[in-house]
């Protein structure tokens, strides 16, 4: 009886274009815009940030931090200090590798507007409701008086 010792090692590597994960998001405060972008792909993707359609790099008011999560995933954080000093409307996260690209656009100006004007929408609704109630009350009183 002949005994053979052979082992077979199989490694499977699938290549896929990048995808931006749903966990990617932006938030704003009066002093900062904070965004995060998570992407996966194989080969490992590269990530680039854009402000109003123009690519950006780290500067005094802009901070970009990236971390490799594993061989196919990347997370990047984007912080813009003093956003009120810029005419800012969109932030875009673009992920790319040799098989393609993916991007996610965030409308930062609408985030700022909704934070500033959230309570002002309520006043016209309250005034309109009170006006309708007053008209109904007047009609009821006129009906009772007749």
Tell me, yes or no, whether 125 lies in a domain.
Answer: no
Q: Residue 25, CB half-sphere, CA atoms under 13 Å: how many?
A: 5
User: What is the distance between the alpha carbons of residues 143 and 141, in angstroms, rounded to a whole number?
Assistant: 5
User: CA-based diameter of the chain, in Å?
Assistant: 117
Tell me, yes or no, whether 132 lies in a domain.
Answer: no
Per-residue pLDDT of the chain (146 residues; tens, 9 = 90+): 556 556 666 666 789 999 999 999 998 888 888 999 999 999 999 999 998 888 988 777 788 999 999 989 999 998 988 766 667 788 899 999 999 999 999 887 755 433 333 344 455 666 667 777 777 778 888 888 87
Strand partners, 51: 54, 91
- pLDDT for 114: 33
Tell me, yes or no, whether 127 lies in a domain.
Answer: no
User: What is the distance between the alpha carbons of residues 100 and 41, in angstroms, rounded to a whole number?
Assistant: 10
- The single-letter DSSP state of residue 118 is T
Tell me, yes or no, whether 139 lies in a domain.
Answer: no
Tell me, yes or no, whether 24 lies in a domain.
Answer: yes
CATH number reported for the structural domain that contains residue 71 in this entry? 2.60.40.10
Tell me, yes or no, whether 136 lies in a domain.
Answer: no
Tell me, yes or no, whether 128 lies in a domain.
Answer: no
140, 132 contact by CB (below 8 A): no
Count how many domains the chain has.
1
Tell me, yes or no, whether 62 lies in a domain.
Answer: yes
Which structural domain, as residue segments, surrounds residue 29?
A: 16-118
């Amino acid at each position: 009886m002949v005994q053979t010792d052979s082992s077979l090692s199989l490694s499977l590597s699938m290549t896929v274009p990048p995808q931006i994960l749903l966990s990617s998001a932006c938030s704003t405060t009066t002093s900062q815009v904070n965004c995060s972008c998570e992407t996966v792909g194989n080969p490992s993707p590269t990530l680039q940030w854009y402000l109003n359609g123009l690519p950006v790099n780290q500067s005094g008011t802009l901070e970009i931090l990236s971390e490799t999560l594993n061989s196919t995933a990347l997370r990047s954080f984007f912080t813009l200090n003093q956003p009120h000093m810029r005419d800012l409307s969109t932030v875009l996260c673009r992920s790319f590798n040799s098989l393609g690209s993916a991007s996610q656009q965030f409308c930062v100006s609408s985030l700022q507007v909704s934070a500033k004007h959230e309570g002002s929408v309520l006043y016209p609704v309250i005034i309109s409701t009170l006006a309708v109630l007053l008209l109904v009350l007047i009609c009821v009183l006129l009906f009772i008086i007749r």
